[in-house]
Amino acid sequence: MTRLPHYAAMLAMAGALPGDDDRWAYEVKFDGIRAIGYIDDDLRLVSRNDKDITAAWPELVDLAPASPRFVVDGEIVAFTADGRTSFEALQPRMHQRNPAAIRALRRTIPATYLIFDLLHIGDRSLIDLPYQQRRQLLEQLGLRGPHWQVPPRLDGAGADILAESKRLGLEGILCKRSDSPYLPGRRSPLWTKVKNVRDQEVVIVGWRPGTGRRAGSIGSLLMAVNDNTGNLVYIGNVGTGFTQATLTDLQSKLQPLQRNTPTVSADIKDAIWVTPELVGEVTFTEWTGDGRLRHPSWRGLRPDKSPNEVKAPFD
């Protein structure tokens, strides 16, 4: 039997609620790690930057074997006690590959694979089928286990669903055109994400040393994004949202990346510059007129994103 074909993840565009509810389906926007699942004799999980992440999530291996074999798209999440997904809770597990450490972390941070699309089954690709039909076929597979499930579609008007998601403290919703094909590797308005919070992926280009309680550690991270010519542009620093464990982990990852010269145009006298290899995510209140993030707060590293993907939304 031939190997299952490779599929890159279809990506949503940020936007406003559609005005014609009857042509759209709505889902919760989950706060986790995107993963394409290849289920055959065994399970293979691939991140959206095309890395094999199967070893990090051993609680999902019992999805396989499967007959017929299939390929799904979904989000690996960690649930908090109140039932919401938490990207921050996943952080200790995202980089971990040591089996003993993973076994220990599983007890306190169990993962769930929320499967929302079916791309392939048997020897047939389904990506040209409309979303509504793919979703019906997915639901017929009955994928529900101790660490995986198909989340429900949301019924009702988009405005009411978004308002309820905000009341529940959720990140937002995804609006998917019922007739949309699956477009591997493409960002399309056929999938529109509407958020209750503002967030931004950032490239770490350096840090400033801490003072007081943070003396000898990181005080703040220096952030950048790519402009429309592909050059890194400094967008400010973030100094809140860190735990001590997060700061220790960041320092260990950034120390080997130190360099003498900056990769952005910024006059920061006490900066410790690094090669721009790590991507993170922050929440913020607004963009300032001079292209800085106002009141950013750290959410965590994004190992599933590459630095050249990180752009300002207005470019």
CATH number at residue 252: 2.40.50.140
**Spatial separation of the C-alpha atoms in residues 105 and 91, rounded to whole Å:** 11
User: Do 175 and 222 have their domain in common?
Assistant: no
User: Do 29 and 135 have their domain in common?
Assistant: yes
In this structure, how many other beta carbons lie within 10 angstroms of the beta carbon of residue 258? 12
Domain count, the chain: 2
User: Do 30 and 115 have their domain in common?
Assistant: yes
User: Do 18 and 164 have their domain in common?
Assistant: yes
Kindly report the pTM of this predicted structure.
0.81
What is the residue type of 90? L
User: Do 210 and 179 have their domain in common?
Assistant: no
**Which active-site residues does the annotation give?**
29
Q: Is the pLDDT of residue 213 over 90?
A: no
User: Do 25 and 85 have their domain in common?
Assistant: yes
Identify whether 6 is part of a domain: no
User: Do 183 and 211 have their domain in common?
Assistant: no
User: Do 66 and 203 have their domain in common?
Assistant: no
Identify whether 3 is part of a domain: no
83: pLDDT confidence band, cut at 50, 70 and 90?
confident
Token couple for 161: 């669903």
Q: How far separated are the first and last CA of the chain, in Å rounded?
A: 45
The residue from 195, 210, 237 where one domain ends is: 195
User: Do 187 and 46 have their domain in common?
Assistant: yes
Q: Is the pLDDT of residue 198 over 80?
A: yes
Identify whether 5 is part of a domain: no
97 backbone φψ class: left, alpha, beta (φ>0; ψ -120 to 50): alpha
CATH assignment at residue 113: 3.30.470.30
User: Do 140 and 35 have their domain in common?
Assistant: yes
Identify whether 314 is part of a domain: no
The residue from 195, 225, 245 where one domain ends is: 195
The residue from 195, 229, 245 where one domain ends is: 195
66: pLDDT confidence band, cut at 50, 70 and 90?
very high
Identify whether 1 is part of a domain: no
Q: Is 108 exposed, middle or buried (0-12, 13-18, 19+ CB in 10 A)?
A: exposed
Write down the pLDDT at residue 121. Answer: 98
User: Do 171 and 206 have their domain in common?
Assistant: no
Mean local confidence (pLDDT), 284-301: 91
Q: Which domain holds residue 134?
A: 11-195
Q: Is the pLDDT of residue 1 over 70?
A: no
Encode pLDDT of 68-79 as tens digits: 999 999 999 999
**Spatial separation of the C-alpha atoms in residues 26 and 37, rounded to whole Å:** 22
Identify whether 315 is part of a domain: no
User: Do 18 and 74 have their domain in common?
Assistant: yes
